[in-house]
Chains A and B, each alone.
Chain A
């Protein structure tokens, strides 16, 4: 299984072997793959996105996967993909020993933060480890900021809430501290962060999907889309900002 270096680096000092894990926000299953490769006893991969759920399952099922000499069929047996909302996780209290949130919080609107942190805390067993990997706010001179701002504008118009929020590691650390967690360590995963052409196109696609949700004659929507496409063409790709890994611990 192809596990990105950011994931292996974030997990390397955590006790994954034999642990019951929760991947909060499964994405395409990169962290699930990393947890299984590191010998997790079970991984609950939670996502509210049907495509992500399928992709995560497919990756573990693939015969080309390699999770460290383990039989991929057994890896699959150690995985449960839960299509669910992180504000209401379908697991009992104290159920998991390791939680990962790799690139999750930047897509969590501020209004949902409290509910999600509360749920993660509820399902965390005493002594649980938590790894939060995310992005520091981008520097002022980063060109991709304009694209993300457009994405947020389109999302606010369509959904009434932003799509992306870059929380400083210190801010998330303090928020979790309020729920009884303590910060174990902070490390830099990427500096700078490569925002590749395909990343930028994916963000422009989000603008498009939100504009599609607006009334068909929305001039503002059309203008946002036009601007987003121009930004993708103009920027091409850019390396800017920092991706961090914050490790926290729930007291025994």
Chain B
């Protein structure tokens, strides 16, 4: 599988990153099998979070067995120093490792959060101390919120090594600032920051719960994903051809193998074909940005 430079981390990430939230929906044996499959396909970058149910615990056994082959990203939604430190230690404990390669501010949504994170007692101070102690490698940020806020964060955090944000034809088709994640990608490229693309496979929001109760949704993603091999491949090729360092696999385990197949076969996408996807998605609704109120 193709690898790309992940900004100043010095890591060459595979063009697909395994979104380990998928492990949350599997029993331990199934989780082990999935990690083996992901490694078999050559993926070398995993991403997990304490908010992904049991994913950290389920990733643990195979992660420890293959620690040298895996570049590990984790994150926290804590915004203050003490909270972030506690969550980091808890993640290290649950994963059973002594080092996380990329530790990220998880799900930035509000301007006030950015204020708090960057303050003297903010999460970033805890990240930096942990970096000094060798507990983490680099600092990143994730958001599926307003692109302008991500741009602000990039301006204000000078040791940011990576950003994770949505990118797909539906948001690319929107011409307004609220969906301008391409501006985030462009700024990151200028600044040499690594980029991880999420929501590449988002087709739209789920129908209302009256129309389709949550329990009846065929996929565990919080958005409705594309789900045929051809669509998955188109979406992967689109995201990878935008220039992202790596594209994160979707949260439902049923889709992961299809995405790995697409990633293995990736060999670029013609610009006219990219525009076709954008044109096709022109009237679709995007599930991002969305305020998640965590």
Contacts and interface: CB of A to CB of B under 8 A. Distances in A.
Interface of A: 1-6, 9, 66, 187-194, 196, 198, 237, 239, 242-243
Q: Which of B176, B273, B279 has the most CB of A within 10 A?
A: B279
Contacts of A5: 172-173, 275, 278-279
Contact of B276 (A3, A66, A194, A237): A194
Nearest to A195: B280
6 contacts: A5-B278, A188-B270, A189-B272, A193-B276, A194-B277, A196-B280
A1 B175 contact: yes
Q: Which of B176, B272, B279 has the most CB of A within 10 A?
A: B272
Given A4-B282, A5-B278, A192 B175 contact: no
B276 A239 contact: yes
A2 B276 contact: no
B293 interface: no
Given A4-B282, A191-B273, 8 more contacts: A2-B175, A3-B175, A5-B275, A6-B275, A6-B279, A9-B275, A187-B272, A191-B270
Contacts of A237: 280
B272 A188 contact: yes
A13 to B, nearest CB: 13
Contacts of A6: 275, 279
B241 to A, nearest CB: 14
Contacts of A1: 175
A139 B185 CA distance: 36
A174 to B, nearest CB: 23
A217 to B, nearest CB: 38
A66 B177 CA distance: 10
B279 A192 contact: no
Instruction: List the 6 shortest-distance A-B pairs measured between CB atoms, nearest first.
Output: A194-B280, A188-B272, A191-B272, A2-B175, A190-B276, A5-B275
A239 B280 contact: yes
B294 interface: no
Contacts of B174: 2
Contacts of A239: 276, 280
Interface string B244-275: 00000000000000000000000000111101
Contacts of A243: 272
A29 to B, nearest CB: 14
B283 A189 contact: no
B282 A192 contact: no
B178 to A, nearest CB: 12
Contacts of B271: 9, 188
Contacts of A9: 271, 275
A9 B279 CA distance: 12
A131 B272 CA distance: 17
A128 to B, nearest CB: 26
A1 B276 CA distance: 20
A190 B279 contact: yes
Contact of A4 (B270, B272, B273, B279): B279
A196 B283 CA distance: 10
Contacts of A189: 272, 275
A187 B282 CA distance: 21
A179 B30 CA distance: 69
Contact of B273 (A2, A3, A187, A192): A192
Given A5-B278, A6-B279, A190 B272 contact: yes
A191 B275 CA distance: 8
A57 to B, nearest CB: 19
B276 A192 contact: yes
A198 B281 CA distance: 12
A237 B228 CA distance: 15
Contacts of B277: 194
B173 A66 contact: no
A4 B176 CA distance: 12
Given A2-B175, A3-B175, A5-B173, A194 B273 contact: no
Contacts of B278: 5
Given A1-B175, A2-B175, A66-B176, A191 B276 contact: yes
A189 B277 CA distance: 11
B273 A198 contact: no
A189 B276 CA distance: 8
A173 B280 CA distance: 28
A146 B170 CA distance: 29
A2 B179 CA distance: 12
